[in-house]
Amino acid sequence: MTLDGHGAFPNYPGSDRRPNQVSALFRHMWFDRFDDVTTVVMGRRSFLGHQQTWSEKARAPGEPKWLLEYRRYLDRVDKVCLSRRLRSTDWENSRILKGDLSRILAKLRREKGGNILLEGGPAVVRECLQRDLADDYWFFVMPVVYGKGPRYWGPMKSQCTLNLVETVPGEDKEILLHYEAVR
Ligand SMILES: NC(=O)c1ccc[n+]([C@@H]2O[C@H](COP(=O)([O-])OP(=O)(O)OC[C@H]3O[C@@H](n4cnc5c(N)ncnc54)[C@H](OP(=O)(O)O)[C@@H]3O)[C@@H](O)[C@H]2O)c1
125 closest CA partner among 46, 37, 50, 51: 46
pLDDT reading at 43 higher than 90: yes
For each of the domains in the chain, give its residue range(s) and CATH number, in order of start.
Answer: 24-181 (3.40.430.10)
The pLDDT value recorded for residue 18 is 86
pLDDT digits (tens, 9 = 90+) for 93-150: 999 999 999 999 999 999 988 899 999 899 999 999 999 999 999 999 999 999 999 9
Mean pLDDT, rounded, for 20-41 = 94
CA distance 6 to 21: 28
Strands (E), the chain: 37-43, 78-82, 94-97, 115-118, 136-141, 162-169, 175-181
Asked whether the beta carbons of 124 and 44 are under 8 A apart, the reply is no
CA distance 87 to 82: 11
Q: How remote is the CA of residue 21 from the centroid of ligand 1, in Å?
A: 30
- Considering 75-89, 112-126, 148-162, the range whose residues carry the highest mean pLDDT is 75-89
Mean pLDDT, rounded, for 32-41 = 94
Mean pLDDT, rounded, for 16-20 = 89
Residue 64: pLDDT band with limits 50, 70, 90: very high
Upper half-sphere CA count for residue 64 (Cβ side, 13 Å):
11
Mean pLDDT taken over the chain:
95
CA distance 48 to 120: 12
The pLDDT value recorded for residue 113 is 84
Q: Is 99 in the pocket of ligand 1 (CB under 6 A)?
A: yes
Q: Is 7 in the pocket of ligand 1 (CB under 6 A)?
A: yes
The pLDDT value recorded for residue 52 is 97
Is this prediction's pTM over 0.85? yes
Q: How remote is the CA of residue 76 from the centroid of ligand 1, in Å?
A: 21
Mean pLDDT, rounded, for 44-53 = 97
Q: Is 15 in the pocket of ligand 1 (CB under 6 A)?
A: no
The pLDDT value recorded for residue 126 is 93
Q: How remote is the CA of residue 20 from the centroid of ligand 1, in Å?
A: 31
Instruction: List, in order, residues 6 or more apart from 38 with CB less than 8 Å away.
Output: 77, 78, 108, 112, 113, 114, 115, 116
Q: Is 65 in the pocket of ligand 1 (CB under 6 A)?
A: no
